């Protein structure tokens, strides 16, 4: 029975995404009749704030998930896999921020401004894309209205909050030590010091030399755009920022795509903002994307190294549109469609 005020549970409420999720849900006045905040037993008893309310964090277990109509999961892949069967068995919908189900054939991978219609075939689990995939797919979706996509290459500049709260603390503690002229503490989250450095490794390496993050970006973009064969090569790099992922992208089209037509298509794309006045040093940066729910695109220029090429730059708040906001927008869309 569809409800317009679902009972909601959040798994991973104490994490980097969970924190932003609570803020975004309150800002958007997401309609809910009950909110349970779940994490591991370590966090049980902590108080979190939602709107003006203080809510006690509880351990994730069947008892605390029972009765939920909608579960947002932003924890770990293991937690998603562990709790999905129980959540769906009681007829609830799970919107999963992690990578556990993204490439599963019966799980829609959704950016509402791009492929909301994929929600029509959900069977209880809906995934949101990786935080680097989302802004790129939004920009590419706009551009393919002008000319078909032939090939994509991208290099990312990913903030530490993309790895979670512990990684942000690792950067902060290294910067504090650097500022005081003290020895920099050894890294425990990243394979190398992240302060004053960039690391060309996000997640683990596969046999083909690409990291899991790069594979996610390539495969997820193909799935969202319904272009399973799209040639795509990604290099994902961690940089010492806190919030906001940026990407340098080269696209090759199958036919001519005029710069003005690309700009117009981008400016019509919901959720995308063109920020592109290079002579005034106006272009997107991670800092300007922070706290905003849109993908900012700039540095648009033709790429003369191929026949129909374009280069651009995109920046987005990875915790908002890259995670929490996208998940909430999916739930809003489900309400609109009478599924919740």
Ligand X SMILES: NC(=O)c1ccc[n+]([C@@H]2O[C@H](COP(=O)([O-])OP(=O)(O)OC[C@H]3O[C@@H](n4cnc5c(N)ncnc54)[C@H](OP(=O)(O)O)[C@@H]3O)[C@@H](O)[C@H]2O)c1
Of 131 and 251, nearer to ligand X (C-beta) is: 131
Beta strands across the sheet bearing 125-127: 58-59, 34-39, 7-11, 70-73, 93-96, 125-127
What's phi and psi for 295, nearest 5 deg?
A: -95, 125
Smallest separation, CB 21 to ligand X (Å): 9
Of 98 and 286, nearer to ligand X (C-beta) is: 98
Smallest separation, CB 152 to ligand X (Å): 20
Count of other CB atoms within 10 angstroms of residue 39: 22
Please return the burial class of 325, using the count of CB atoms within 10 Å of its CB with bins 0-12, 13-18 and 19+: buried
Residues that bind ligand X (CB under 6 A): 11-18, 39-40, 42-43, 60, 74-76, 78-79, 97-98, 131, 161-162, 164-166, 318-319, 322-323
Is 49 tagged catalytic? no
CB-CB contact of 154 with 136 (8 Å):
yes
Smallest separation, CB 93 to ligand X (Å): 17
User: Closest CB to ligand X belongs to which residue?
Assistant: 15
* Spatial separation of the C-alpha atoms in residues 115 and 138, rounded to whole Å: 10
> DSSP assignment of 270-313, as one string?
TTEEE--BGGGTB---HHHHTT--SEEEEEEEEETTSTTEEEEE
Dihedral class, residue 66 (left if φ above 0, else alpha if ψ from -120 to 50, else beta):
beta
Of 184 and 189, nearer to ligand X (C-beta) is: 189
Smallest separation, CB 260 to ligand X (Å): 33
CA 253-256-259 angle, 5° bins: 95
Smallest separation, CB 283 to ligand X (Å): 22
Of 26 and 212, nearer to ligand X (C-beta) is: 212
Smallest separation, CB 273 to ligand X (Å): 20
Give the β-pairing of 149-157 and 245-253. Answer: antiparallel
* Spatial separation of the C-alpha atoms in residues 190 and 174, rounded to whole Å: 12
Distances (CA, A) of 144 to 189, 256, 261, 294: 38, 11, 11, 19
Catalytic annotation, pick one of 49, 73, 131, 236? 131
Catalytic annotation, pick one of 73, 141, 236, 245? 245
Is 73 tagged catalytic? no
Of 269 and 316, nearer to ligand X (C-beta) is: 316
CB-CB contact of 18 with 167 (8 Å):
no
Of 2 and 291, nearer to ligand X (C-beta) is: 291
Residues forming the active site: 131, 245
């Amino acid at each position: 029975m569809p409800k317009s005020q679902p009972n909601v549970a959040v798994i991973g409420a104490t994490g980097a995404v969970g924190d932003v999720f609570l803020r975004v849900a309150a800002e958007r006045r997401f309609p809910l009749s009950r909110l349970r905040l779940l994490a591991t037993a370590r966090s049980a008893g902590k108080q979190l704030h939602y709107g003006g309310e203080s809510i006690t964090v509880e351990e994730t277990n069947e008892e605390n998930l029972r009765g939920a109509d909608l579960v947002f999961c932003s924890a770990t892949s293991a937690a998603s896999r562990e709790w999905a069967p129980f959540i769906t068995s009681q007829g609830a919908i799970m919107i999963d921020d992690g990578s556990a189900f993204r490439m599963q054939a019966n799980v829609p991978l959704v950016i509402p401004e791009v492929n909301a219609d994929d929600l029509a075939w959900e069977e209880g689990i809906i995934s949101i894309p990786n935080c680097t995939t989302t802004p790129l797919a939004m920009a590419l979706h706009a551009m393919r209205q002008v000319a078909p996509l032939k090939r994509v290459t991208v290099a990312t500049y990913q903030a530490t909050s993309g790895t979670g709260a512990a990684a942000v603390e690792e950067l902060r503690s290294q910067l504090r030590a650097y500022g005081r002229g003290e020895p920099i503490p050894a890294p425990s989250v990243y394979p190398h010091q992240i302060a004053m450095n960039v690391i060309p490794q996000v997640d683990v390496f596969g046999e083909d030399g690409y990291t899991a993050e790069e594979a996610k970006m390539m495969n997820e973009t193909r799935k969202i755009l319904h272009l399973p064969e799209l040639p795509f090569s990604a290099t994902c790099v961690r940089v010492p920022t806190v919030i906001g992922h940026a990407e340098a992208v080269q696209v090759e089209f199958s036919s001519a795509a005029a710069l003005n037509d690309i700009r117009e298509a981008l400016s019509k794309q919901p959720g995308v903002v063109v920020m592109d006045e290079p002579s005034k040093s106006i272009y997107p940066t991670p800092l300007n994307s922070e706290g905003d729910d849109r993908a900012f695109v700039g540095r648009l220029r033709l790429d003369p190294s191929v026949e129909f090429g374009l280069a651009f730059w995109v920046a987005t708040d990875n915790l908002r549109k890259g995670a929490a906001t996208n998940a909430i927008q999916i739930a809003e869309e489900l309400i609109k469609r009478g599924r919740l």
